[in-house]
Chain A
Amino acid sequence: MSAFLVITFSGLALGAIYFLAASGLSLIYGLMDILNFAHGLFMTLGAYAGYEVAVHLTSSLGAPASLTLAILASILGGAIAAGITEVFLIRPLYGRPVSQILVTIGLDLAVVGLLMGGFGSSSLQIPVPTWLLLATHVGSLNLPNASFLALGAGVIVLLVLEWFLRRTRYGIIIRAGVENREMVSALGIDVGRAFTLVFVIGGAMAGLAGLLYSLVFSGDLVSPAQGDSLLIFAFIVVVIGGLGSIRGSAVAALIVGLLQDYTSFYIGGHQGWAEIGNLSVVLLLAVVLEWRPRGLFGSVA
């Protein structure tokens, strides 16, 4: 039983990271019809920004303070990268959705190549405070502190995002744009600014997701291709949740995270089943699409 609870906890943490990655993708798709292949790149860049800050500041500020700054750097790094991408690469291609997808593919390829040239293609270690590596005793359970970090970040971002989308002017414009973009621009609202904003928000969340994934699930390592492997799962979460739906992304992220952890723990240990965690997620996608082609929370239109 206690193993089950620990696995559940870790699955929820994984789900939180998937949510951070997928909700931005879903918003971008909902508003702009762009399948953003550069989202994996934003995750990687966020992780590298965090790595750079942690490496340079740990000796002078100490590990806890530099980790906090590293997290901020990952958010900022992802946001800046996404903002630049939108303004310089996506904007010239408005009205050509396929070209926009292609340009994000090319960008991802190019910048990941650049990262490999600059940082080397092997993994780098982020210096972290010791408490992040320890576990907290809750009752009889040993829950890793890093997972608390991911879950906390996921919950905070979900709350802030919901507040932003429901209570602020720009949030309402974005939601309206997801529903009916033509109508919003017909009302005289500059949707272009909302496009940039959505990219920046999505990039910020992706950057955070990239660093958190390194801290929680890959032993504090960053590598140039890490975002691209996460991206596929983020895509799957978005499609299962329903393109354009934040709540759909949140629910689907938790389902996918839990499923992946349960299957790889209970079945993956057997000989020849090592990849069952990943496979079961794809299977879930196929089942959901057979049953509801628009995803769990997808609209009819």
Chain B
Amino acid sequence: MKNVLKHRGALAGCLALLVFVFLPFAGFSIPWILPGTLNVVNSSGTLIVLALCFLFAGVAVGYDLMIGFTGLLSLGPVLYFASGAYVFDIAITRWSWPLVPALGLTFAVAFVLAVLLGAIALRVDGIAFAMVTLAFAQAFYFLIENNPHNLTGGDTGLALSDLRLPTFLSGAVSNTRNLYWVALAFLVVAFLVVWLVTESVTGHIFVAIRENERRLDVLGIKPFRFKLASFVLSSLIAAGGGVIFILVIGTAVPSTVASTSVTISILIMVVLGGSGTRWGAVMGAMVYIYLQQYLLKVSGEPSFATLPAVLRVPLSQPQFLLGALFVLFVLFVPGGIAGLFARFAATRNPSLDKPRWRTLSVAKALKK
């Protein structure tokens, strides 16, 4: 019995995965929660919203590997997300490359960028590291806006041409279901990678770096290479998320793909869910994206315009509601959603092993 309880997290995960895999076949809609019939291939945005949830969940769990497990507060994941989206988009649209070489180039570029910029940024730590990664990401944003050799399309962005894509992926309208599965597959891969790494020796060194870097140095393990490894791995996952994003959304615009607000969103997802717990980041991202899209939809409904201005103005801004929710979580729910679950489980069944939730201890990384 105890064994079952220990693995109930994994069980719940597999069950949820099963439900999500078969969801596109469900011939019904869930009013209010999932509007629009689910099995209609192209009529509803529901599957697209879920696909966005999955892809950001993957990116968030990759980011959690870096900030939650290794204690590196990078404020630049958007750089790799944007490089994934733009390099893939440019290879396919501007140079008419086939899918596989385009993917290869995308990950090669992300890898080189992450190794180079990570090595520079990791020369400093704490707040300075956060600042440098933020600045690099901003530089990349300016570069995209700059539209070198007319590659990125500057402000107006670059729509993905689906001429060179395999037919099962081309066009968000006709292949919503396939894109949904691709996004789900990305989440599964990202989660498995992070899971395998955090359970490995390397992952334990990551946590050791977070807890006490100097001690590791004394033990003869050079933290730098491991910090870089965590940074690069996290960045590659973000680049993968960028590729999925451009496939699902179909166009890359600097303000939605490359701006600091994307970093802030990913950070909020991880903290909202509870950092350093893997599934917390996944939950946080799903809740964040779902709420964002849902609030946007609700505020567009005609009945909404009849509300008095005092209610209408704040409620029409998902950014306000999400920001306020986040502030409340930071103030009153320090461990995020995962922390809530842990507390609930502890009060329900105190005899269980102490939960292994590792709450945010980036504080230690910053104090040095």
Contacts and interface: CB of A to CB of B under 8 A. Distances in A.
Interface of A: 29, 33, 35, 89, 92-93, 96-99, 102-103, 105-114, 116-118, 228, 232, 235-236, 238-239, 243, 272-276, 278-279, 282-283, 285-286, 289-290, 293-294
Given A33-B366, A105-B264, A228-B260, A272 B149 contact: yes
A293 B134 contact: no
B202 interface: no
Interface residues of B, number: 47
Interface stretch (B35-43, B87-95, B210-218, B316-324): B316-324
B221 interface: no
11 contacts: A97-B363, A98-B366, A105-B267, A109-B326, A110-B322, A113-B318, A232-B138, A236-B135, A275-B143, A285-B131, A286-B136
Interface in B117-138: 120, 123-124, 127-128, 130-132, 134-136, 138
A274 B147 CA distance: 9
Contacts of A29: 127
Contact of B362 (A98, A114, A228): A98
A275 B135 CA distance: 14
A273 B148 CA distance: 8
Interface of B: 73, 120, 123-124, 127-128, 130-132, 134-136, 138-139, 142-143, 145-149, 260, 264, 267-268, 271, 313-314, 316-324, 326-327, 330-331, 334, 360, 362-363, 366-367
A47 to B, nearest CB: 19
A76 to B, nearest CB: 24
A235 B128 CA distance: 10
Contacts of B324: 106, 110
B322 A109 contact: yes
Contacts of A92: 331
B367 A275 contact: no
A112 B327 CA distance: 14
Nearest to B360: A98
A99 B142 CA distance: 29
B267 to A, nearest CB: 7
A34 to B, nearest CB: 9
Contact of B123 (A97, A108, A285, A290): A290
A125 to B, nearest CB: 21
B334 A99 contact: yes
Contacts of A235: 131, 134-135
